[in-house]
Chain A
Amino acid sequence: MRRAALIAVPYAWLLALFLIPFAVVFKISLSDIALAIPPYTPTAKDGIWAMLSQLDIENIVFLTEDDLYWKAYLSSLQIAAVSTVLTLLVGYPMAYAMARAPEAWRPTLLMLVILPFWTSFLIRVYAWVGILSNEGFLNQFLLWLGVIDTPLTILNTPTAVYIGIVYTYLPFMILPIYSALDRLDGSLIEAAEDLGCSRFKAFWLITIPLSKNGIIAGSFLVFIPALGEFVIPSLLGGSGTLMIGKVLFEEFFSNRDWPVASAVAVILLLILVIPLVLFQRNQQRQTEAGA
């Protein structure tokens, strides 16, 4: 009985804060825009049956007809995927170096990775505006070095978005990989070398496969939030960067078209469910293997 009550708590939480809001959003996505408060029709005031009978999938059909939306989805997927790979390329060596560092240094290194979380995410992204703009620190520095003659245009390009995403989500990549590498028994590498592997071969055949779970976990932790990312593309990406988070924001706040915005959100969630389920299965397999 008490166990059931204990399990009920997280489920009640999920129900109240995820499932019910999602049902509301889903219902709105099936409604029509209206000049009213709230700005859609029908509402529950019309009576439950009348409300349900007036719902249709018009908005979802609309999303497939206007190419803005599927282009935004595809571009988001691409940006999220590319940034995940970039984050992995930057994060893996860092995690590897941390795991190989002297025991005494590791807590400090770990804290340094987490340190950025102590400042607001928004402020940190704003800081990048100051760094990447034409008159920003990066261009000033490169001009001073004499590497370039004219300032590079980085801000308001996809490059800036990639930099922002990699920077923001790097800790989410480093931490799971570090924890996988930290558990790796050093004698396995020695055994591989003893059996005829070069350093690199031992890394490729032993270290990489044994940190696979960390790589997968880190990649999902970066890919999933990056897909719906709104702040980074809108602050660093300029108008040229098409991302679904930004589209959603504009539908909701600029167009005040709640039904279309809701439809965008529902589709986004459906897209995210696939990697989420994969991630969940990976985690589960990992716990099973560990047991």
Chain B
Amino acid sequence: MDQDQIGHLSPDWGAGLPRPDFTLRTETPLAETVFAPWDDADEKPLIRFRNVTKRFGEFVAIDDLTLDIYEREFFALLGPSGCGKTTMMRMLAGFEDPTEGAIELAGQNIAGVPANKRAVNMMFQSYALFPHLSIWDNIAFGLRRESSDKVAIAARVEEMLKLTRLEKFARRKPHQISGGQRQRVALARSLAKAPKLLLLDEPLGALDAKLREATQFELMDIQEKTGTTFVIVTHDQEEAMTVASRVAVMDEGRVMQVATPTDIYEAPNSAYVADFIGDVTLIDGTAKARSAPEQDTRPAEVPEVSASPEPTRAPQPNALGIWLHDKVLAPVIGPRKDIVRQLPPPTAQDSPKSETPPGGVEITWAEGQPALIALDGDQALDGHAVKLALRPEKVTISKDKPQAVNALQGKVIDIAYLGNLSTYHVELADGTMIKAQTANTRRVARRDITWEDPVWVSWSGTAGVVLNT
């Protein structure tokens, strides 16, 4: 794909055939600046949901929802089935109208505008390819509706075929190509009219795991090349995290959180989001504000405490080595000094709790267990019932007591072996289960923690997220 073609695919082409000009897009490529229009107060959103409610009879599918989506975003609507994400997409496409509220596309209220008059195209979950038309005619279908310029249509179709690497299949019928190819035809067809907004309804649901992964990157690539705004609906959180610039987590017709994949994962705003995205251990307790930091700012960098169980010993000779030394070398280099050489004692940084930076909250959660410290915790939560959300990969498991801000003793109940990772389910004395994950850098046979082992689980002061309940 050379520069010229990127110019062809610019979104302003959508107004109609023949295309206006062949100028290159001169804006700065995305990679050079951080793409975050949602943080820019001057940026006008492309799509604006304003207090949208959608009811089907008694059932409330979308409940007073307000949401902005910006141009060139790859926006994911994520949620379990029945959360209203498909309804939102169908309202954008024009197949449903909101019961209350307004949806604006580029500043225009689009309620009542029929689907065939919207600069919005949709890629259907079933792909909805027309079985009686060839791939070429499928892609040309939308173009033919708005223009009779055969040359322009043919050029655009060829361009889309090239973009999706389908040139060889142009003459085939949809039932003569594979699932992955069909997916690309559906994408090419929905992109052909250069819509302002492309809706993707579970676009990769029908593909197998390997192909899905490859296609995710392909989608991102095409999104970047064409500069089209993509809104993707999915129930697969991994897919949403991979492709999207922002993710909206939905539940029962409401948006629970809208944020970048990193924020959604690392800083969920509710137990629902924390639980829905990835694996998490939630610990109930009561927050208590810790003494405020002395400086006006908290230390920006809180050290990740090493959970190394014991001071590392330097190599020691074995029996043969001692014998050799005593019998052969001693006369020459003198008697062996039998001392244990150790690494220097731990520095102040990864040392005990007294050294833990002040601030944040501590959470009392069970009789006879130490309070858990969360340095990021909001001090306003003092006295509230809270949940501490812990990602398994941020919890370290070890046989000996580690020197960490938070360390609890328990017993391994279950090990889930995932190939690259293992998740240990550790039961604490009071029955609480904590999940800890380690990367399997060694072969299975050489791992030293197994079922029923007494272990310590530990995590740093910033690993957990304190959530109001």
A287 at the interface (CB under 8 A from B): no
Closest Cβ of chain A: how far from B183's Cβ, in Å? 14
A163 at the interface (CB under 8 A from B): no
A195 at the interface (CB under 8 A from B): yes
Inter-chain CA distance A187–B132, complex, in Å, is 15
23 contacts between A and B (CB under 8 A): A187-B124, A187-B125, A187-B128, A188-B128, A190-B95, A190-B115, A190-B122, A190-B128, A191-B122, A191-B130, A192-B130, A192-B141, A194-B115, A194-B120, A195-B116, A195-B141, A195-B142, A195-B145, A196-B146, A197-B116, A210-B131, A210-B132, A289-B175
The 9 closest A-B pairs by CB, nearest first: A195-B142, A196-B145, A191-B128, A187-B128, A193-B115, A209-B132, A196-B116, A194-B122, A193-B116
Query: How many residues on B have C-beta within 8 angstroms of the other chain's C-beta atoms?
Result: 24
The reply to whether B93 and A194 contact each other, CB–CB distance below 8 Å, is yes
Majority-rule SS of B interface residues:
mixed
Given contacts A185-B126, A187-B126, contact A194 B132 (CB under 8 A): no
The reply to whether B126 and A206 contact each other, CB–CB distance below 8 Å, is no
Inter-chain CA distance A192–B145, complex, in Å, is 10
Query: How many residues on A have C-beta within 8 angstroms of the other chain's C-beta atoms?
Result: 18
Residues of A within 8 Å of B141, CB to CB, are: 192, 195
Residues of A within 8 Å of B121, CB to CB, are: 194-195
B48 at the interface (CB under 8 A from A): no
B114 at the interface (CB under 8 A from A): yes
Closest Cβ of chain A: how far from B340's Cβ, in Å? 73
A280 at the interface (CB under 8 A from B): no
Given contacts A198-B116, A210-B131, A210-B132, contact A190 B146 (CB under 8 A): no
Residues of A within 8 Å of B156, CB to CB, are: none
B193 at the interface (CB under 8 A from A): yes
B85 at the interface (CB under 8 A from A): no
Residues of B within 8 Å of A201, CB to CB, are: 145
Q: Which residue of B lies closest to A208 (CB)?
A: B132
B72 at the interface (CB under 8 A from A): no
B288 at the interface (CB under 8 A from A): no
Residues of A within 8 Å of B124, CB to CB, are: 187, 190-191
Q: Restricting to A132-191, which residues have a CB under 8 Å from any CB of B?
A: 185, 187-188, 190-191
B189 at the interface (CB under 8 A from A): yes
Closest Cβ of chain B: how far from A280's Cβ, in Å? 21
Closest Cβ of chain B: how far from A100's Cβ, in Å? 16
20 more CB-based (< 8 A) A-B contacts, given A190-B93, A190-B95, A196-B142:
A188-B128, A188-B130, A190-B122, A190-B124, A190-B128, A191-B124, A191-B130, A193-B114, A193-B116, A194-B93, A194-B115, A194-B120, A195-B193, A196-B145, A197-B116, A197-B145, A198-B116, A206-B130, A209-B132, A289-B175
Closest Cβ of chain B: how far from A205's Cβ, in Å? 8
Residues of A within 8 Å of B93, CB to CB, are: 190, 194
Residues of A within 8 Å of B145, CB to CB, are: 195-197, 201
Closest Cβ of chain B: how far from A187's Cβ, in Å? 4
Q: Restricting to A44-62, which residues have a CB under 8 Å from any CB of B?
A: none
Inter-chain CA distance A48–B93, complex, in Å, is 79
Residues of A within 8 Å of B114, CB to CB, are: 193
Inter-chain CA distance A74–B175, complex, in Å, is 42
The reply to whether A194 and B126 contact each other, CB–CB distance below 8 Å, is no
* Residues of B in contact with A (beta carbons under 8 Å apart): 93-95, 114-116, 120-122, 124-126, 128, 130-132, 141-142, 145-146, 175, 189-190, 193
Residues of B within 8 Å of A187, CB to CB, are: 124-126, 128
The reply to whether A196 and B95 contact each other, CB–CB distance below 8 Å, is no
Q: Which residue of A lies closest to B122 (CB)?
A: A194
Closest Cβ of chain B: how far from A207's Cβ, in Å? 11
Inter-chain CA distance A190–B93, complex, in Å, is 10
Residues of B within 8 Å of A198, CB to CB, are: 116
Q: Restricting to A256-276, which residues have a CB under 8 Å from any CB of B?
A: none
Residues of B within 8 Å of A212, CB to CB, are: 132
Residues of B within 8 Å of A195, CB to CB, are: 116, 121, 141-142, 145, 189-190, 193
Query: Which of A193, A201, A209, A289 has the most chain B CB within a 10 Å cutoff?
Result: A193
Q: Which residue of A lies closest to B131 (CB)?
A: A210
Residues of B within 8 Å of A193, CB to CB, are: 94-95, 114-116
Closest Cβ of chain A: how far from B135's Cβ, in Å? 14
Residues of B within 8 Å of A191, CB to CB, are: 122, 124, 128, 130
Closest Cβ of chain A: how far from B433's Cβ, in Å? 43
Closest Cβ of chain A: how far from B134's Cβ, in Å? 13
Q: Which residue of A lies closest to B118 (CB)?
A: A194
Q: Which residue of B lies closest to A184 (CB)?
A: B131
Inter-chain CA distance A198–B193, complex, in Å, is 16
Residues of A within 8 Å of B128, CB to CB, are: 185, 187-188, 190-191
Closest Cβ of chain B: how far from A73's Cβ, in Å? 36
Query: Which of A185, A193, A194, A209 has the most chain B CB within a 10 Å cutoff?
Result: A194
Inter-chain CA distance A212–B122, complex, in Å, is 27
Closest Cβ of chain B: how far from A71's Cβ, in Å? 41
Inter-chain CA distance A192–B93, complex, in Å, is 12
Closest Cβ of chain A: how far from B17's Cβ, in Å? 12
Inter-chain CA distance A289–B189, complex, in Å, is 23
Inter-chain CA distance A138–B190, complex, in Å, is 54
Inter-chain CA distance A188–B95, complex, in Å, is 13
Closest Cβ of chain A: how far from B455's Cβ, in Å? 52
Inter-chain CA distance A265–B81, complex, in Å, is 64
Residues of B within 8 Å of A289, CB to CB, are: 175
Residues of A within 8 Å of B146, CB to CB, are: 196
Residues of A within 8 Å of B125, CB to CB, are: 187
Residues of A within 8 Å of B175, CB to CB, are: 289
Residues of A within 8 Å of B115, CB to CB, are: 190, 193-194
Inter-chain CA distance A197–B116, complex, in Å, is 6
Residues of B within 8 Å of A192, CB to CB, are: 130, 141
Q: Which residue of A lies closest to B121 (CB)?
A: A194
Inter-chain CA distance A285–B131, complex, in Å, is 15
Closest Cβ of chain B: how far from A181's Cβ, in Å? 14
Residues of B within 8 Å of A196, CB to CB, are: 116, 142, 145-146, 193
Query: Which of B93, B116, B121, B122 has the most chain A CB within a 10 Å cutoff?
Result: B116
Inter-chain CA distance A289–B173, complex, in Å, is 11
Inter-chain CA distance A113–B469, complex, in Å, is 60
